[in-house]
Structure 1
Amino acid sequence: RSVPEAVMAAERPCSLFALSAAAVSRSMAALERDVWALPGHLLRGLLPLLTIFHLERAEDAARRAGLSTQPIWRKLWDDVMKTRPPNSESITCWRKKFLETFFSSVLHGVLDVSSDWRLHDRHFSPLLHSSPHVSQLTLCNMLQGAVELTAEHNHKVLENLAASLRVLKFQHLFSCDQSIRRSLVLLLHRLIHHGSVSQVSMCSWPVPDTVLLVLILTMSAGFCRSGNALACHGSLCGLCREEDKAQSQQSAQEGAERGCNAEREGSGAENQKRSPKKADACMTSGPRSPPLQNPACEETSSEEPCGHSTIQGGSSPRSSSEQLSCHPIPRKTRRWQKPAVGRKRRCLRRSRGHYADPEDLYDFVFTVAREDNSGLLDKTRTTEGENTENWTSSSPGSPCTGHAGCKKRGGPAGTRSLKAAHRFRSVSTLELFSIPLTGETCRTLSNLLSSWVSLENLVLSYNSLNANISCILSGLRALSRHPECRFRVLRVSDMFSHMPCMELVRCTLSALPQLHTLSVSFDLKNQLEGTRPEASPSCSEAEIPESCLEVLEIRFPREPLHTALLLPVLKASKSLQQLSLDSATLPCPQELGLLLEVLKECTPNLRKLSFHDVNLAEHQKEVLLLLQDPGLQEITFSFCRLFENSTAEFLSEIINTVKRNSSLKSLKLPGNRLGNHRLVALADIFSEDSSSSLCQLDVSSNCIKPDGLLEFTKKLEGHIQQRGGQLPFTQLRLFQNWLDQDAETAQEALRRLRAMCSVVNDAWDSSQAFADYISVM
Structure 2
Amino acid sequence: MGISNGSSLVQMCIVKVAQNMHLLERKVANLPVSLLKDLLSHLNIYYLDRIESAAASKGVSTSVIWAAIWRDLDQTWRWRLKSALPDQDVKQRCLERLFHMVLFTQVRRGGSYLSDLSESSILSMTVKHVRVLSLHTSTRNICRLASGDLRPILSSLEKGVKSLKLLDAKSLFKHGRKHVLFVLHRLLDHGSVREVVLRRNPDSSFLSWLTSRRRGHQLSVSSAPEASQADGHRSVLGEFDSRCSAELEEPAAKRLALDMEENPEVLCSEFSSSSRSADLCPEGQIHSLDFEVSKCDILTTVSRILPTWLCLHTLHLHSDWLISEQEMSVLVESLRRLFLNPGCSLTDLSISHVSAHTHVISILRACLTLQNLSLEICPPAERNQWRPQPRFTEHKELCLEKLTVRSTGPMTVTCFLPVLKLTPKLSSLHFTGIHLSQEFFHTLTGSNPSLKVLKLEDINLSDHHQEILQFLERSVLEELSFRDCRLLDKCAVKKDFLLPFVEALKGISSLRTLMLAQNRLATSAIEIARLFSGCRPSKITKVDLSSNFILPAELLEFAQLLETYRPVQRLTLDLRSNPLDRDPEVKGQALRKLIPYCNILTDDWDSRSTMADHISVM
One fold, TM greater than 0.5? yes
**Structure-2 residue corresponding to 1:459:** 316
Taking a change above 3 Å as real, the CA distance of residues 77 and 425 of structure 1, as seen in their structure-2 partners, is same
Pair 1:123–1:774, CA change in 2 (3 A): closer
What residue is the counterpart of 2:125 in the other structure?
129
Match of 1:89 among 59, 63, 84: 84
Measure, in 2, the Cα distance between the counterparts of 1:663 and 1:740: 35
Q: CA deviation at 1:550?
A: 1.0
For residue 619 of structure 1, what is the aligned residue in structure 2?
Answer: 464
Give the Cα–Cα distance (whole angstroms) in 1 for the partners of residues 45 and 480 of structure 2. 46
Distance 1:731 1:22 in 2: 38
Q: Are the structure 2 counterparts of residues 734 and 480 from structure 1 closer, same or farther at C-alpha, using a change threshold of 3 Å?
A: same
Q: Is it true that 1:525 corresponds to 2:379 in the alignment? A: yes
Q: Which of 502, 507, 511 lines up with 2:362 in the alignment?
A: 507
Distance 2:141 2:119 in 1: 23
Distance 1:79 1:646, change over 3 A: closer
Pair 1:486 & 2:345 matched: yes
1:172 aligns with 2:168: yes
CA deviation map 1:330-385 (0-9, x unaligned): xxxxxxxxxxxxxxxxxxxxxxxxxxxxxxxxxxxxxxxxxxxxxxx4xx12xx43
What is the aligned counterpart of 1:551 among 402, 405, 411?
402
Equivalent residue, structure 2, for 1:752 = 593
Per-residue Cα deviation, 1:677-704 (whole angstroms, up to 9, x for no partner): x112333333325554444332222111
User: Aligned partners of 2:478, 2:198: CA distance in 1, in Å?
Assistant: 35
Note the 1:719-738 alignment, pairs <5 A: 720=565, 725=566, 727=568, 730-738=571-579
User: 1: distance between equivalents of 2:44 and 2:613?
Assistant: 51
* CA apart distance, 1:487: 1.8
Residues 490-531 of structure 1, C-alpha deviations (whole Å, 9 max, x = no match):
12222xx322x2x21111111212222111113x3347877x
Change beyond 3 A, Cα 1:118–1:506:
same
> Does 1:425 pair with 2:284?
yes
The answer for the alignment partner of 1:7 in structure 2 is: none
Q: Give the structure 1 partner of residue 142 of structure 2.
A: 146
2:584 to 728, 743, 754: 743
Shift of 1:104: 0.7
Give the Cα separation in 2 of the matches to 1:82 and 1:775. 29
Count of matched residue pairs: 581
Residue type of the partner of 2:239? G
1:534 aligns with 2:387: yes
Query: What is the alpha-carbon distance in structure 2 between the residues aligned to residue 490 and residue 746 of structure 1?
Result: 45
Question: Within 5 A, what are the aligned runs for 1:583-598?
Answer: 583-586=433-436, 592-598=437-443
Partner of 1:262: none
Q: Does 1:713 align with 2:554?
A: no
- Supply the distance in 1 between the matched residues of 2:452 and 2:40 (Cα, whole angstroms): 49
Distance 1:727 1:392 in 2: 61
Give secondary structure in 2 for the equivalent of 1:540. Answer: coil
**Equivalent position of 1:187 in the other structure:** 183
Larger-gyration structure (1/2): 1
Conserved 8 A contact 1:100-1:135: yes
Given that 2:137 and 2:172 are in contact with CA atoms closer than 8 Å, whether structure 1 keeps it comes out as no
Q: Is the 8 A contact 1:544 1:568 kept in 2?
A: no
Answer whether contact 1:699 1:734 (CA < 8 A) is retained: yes
Offset, 1:114: 7.9
**Local SS of the residue matching 2:404:** strand
State the distance in 2 between where 1:595 and 1:754 align: 39
What's the counterpart of residue 421 of structure 2? 571
* Residue matched to 2:94: 98
Does the residue aligned with 1:731 lie in a helix, a strand or coil?
strand
Three-state SS of the structure 1 residue aligned to 2:168 is: strand
Q: Tell me what 2:152 maps to.
A: 156
Q: 1:672 aligns with which of 519, 542, 556?
A: 519
Q: Distance in 1 between matches of 2:119 and 2:514?
A: 55
1:52 and 1:635 mapped to 2: Cα distance?
Answer: 41
Task: Name which of structure 1's ranges 410-419 and 124-133 shifts more when overlaid on structure 2.
Answer: 410-419
- 1:163 deviates by 1.3
Q: Which amino acid aligns with 2:324?
A: N
Residue of structure 2 equivalent to 1:390: 230
Map of 1:699 onto structure 2? 545
Distance 2:478 2:179 in 1: 51
**Deviation of the 1:711 alpha carbon:** 1.0
Q: Give the counterpart letter for 1:688 in structure 2.
A: G
In 2, the alpha carbon distance for the partners of 1:142 and 1:775 equals 43
SS in 2 for 1:444: helix
| Corresponding residue for residue 439 of structure 1 | 296
Q: Counterpart of 1:685?
A: 531
Residue aligning to 1:284: none
- Give the Cα–Cα distance (whole angstroms) in 2 for the partners of residues 437 and 681 of structure 1: 49
How far did 1:426 drift? 1.4
- Structure 2: where are the runs of 5+ without partners? 256-280
> Which deviations, in whole Å up to 9, do the C-alpha atoms of 1:540-597 show, x marking residues without a partner?
353363221111111223333253x3343123211111222211124xxxxx222223
RMSD of aligned residue pairs (Cα, Å): 3.4
Q: 1:650 & 1:743 partners in 2: Cα distance?
A: 31
Instruction: Give the deviation of 1:466 after TM superposition.
Output: 2.7
Shift of 1:111: 1.5
Structural mapping, 1:140-539, within 5 Å: 140-175=136-171, 177=173, 180-203=176-199, 205=200, 208-211=201-204, 214=207, 217-218=210-211, 221-222=213-214, 310-312=218-220, 377=221, 380-381=222-223, 384-387=224-227, 390=230, 393=233, 401-402=235-236, 404-407=238-241, 410=243, 414=247, 416-417=249-250, 420-421=254-255, 424-432=283-291, 435-440=292-297, 442-464=299-321, 465-467=323-325, 468-494=327-353, 497-499=354-356, 501=357, 503-522=358-377, 524-526=378-380, 534-535=387-388, 539=390
TM-score by structure 1 length? Answer: 0.67
Structure 2 Cα separation of the partners of residues 776 and 407 of structure 1:
58
Counterpart for residue 264 of structure 2: none
2:294 is paired with a residue whose SS is coil
Distance, in Å, in 2 between the alignment partners of 1:689 and 1:605 is 27
Structure 2 residue identity aligned to 1:554:
V
Aligned partners of 1:84 and 1:566: how far apart in 2?
A: 39
1:605 offset after TM fit, Å? 1.5
| Inter-partner Cα distance in structure 1 for 2:351 and 2:413 | 21
Runs of 5+ unmatched residues, structure 1: 1-10, 224-306, 313-376, 394-399, 587-591
In structure 2, the CA distance between the partners of 1:640 and 1:209, relative to structure 1 (3 Å rule), is: same
Which residue is equivalent to 2:46? 53
CA distance in 1, matches of 2:116, 2:95: 13
- Once the two structures are superposed, residues 618-654 of structure 1 have per-residue CA deviations (whole angstroms, 9 ceiling, x without a partner) of 2332233233334344332221212112121333443
Q: 1:67 aligns with which of 56, 60, 68?
A: 60
Query: For residues 81 and 733 of structure 1, what CA distance do their matches in structure 2 show?
Result: 22
TM-score normalised by length of structure 2: 0.83
Residues 294 and 319, structure 2, Cα contact 8 Å, conserved in 1? no
- Alpha-carbon distance change, 633 to 79 in structure 1, aligned in 2, over 3 angstroms: closer
1:38-64 residue CA offsets vs partner (Å, 9 max, x unmatched): 545565554443332233233344344
CA distance in 2, matches of 1:613, 1:110: 42
2:444 to 587, 599, 608: 599
Which letter does structure 2 place at the counterpart of 1:76? I
Q: Is the 8 A contact 2:426 2:448 kept in 1?
A: yes
Separation (CA, whole Å) in 2 of partners of 1:445 and 1:49: 52
Residues 181-217 of structure 1 show CA distances to partners (whole Å, capped at 9, x for unaligned) of: 21221111111211122321123x2xx4324751563
SS in 1 for 2:219: helix
Q: Name the CA distance, whole Å, in 2 between partners of 1:630 and 1:411.
A: 48
- 1:506 maps to a residue whose letter is I
Measure, in 2, the Cα distance between the counterparts of 1:176 and 1:80: 25
Question: Are the structure 2 counterparts of residues 656 and 511 from structure 1 closer, same or farther at C-alpha, using a change threshold of 3 Å?
Answer: same
Corresponding residue for residue 243 of structure 1: none
Q: Deviations over 1:400-430 (max 9, x none)?
A: 644533347x387555557732871213221
Cα distance change on mapping 1:699 and 1:14 into 2, 3 Å: closer
Equivalent residue for 1:324?
Answer: none
Deviation at 1:610, TM superposition (A): 2.5
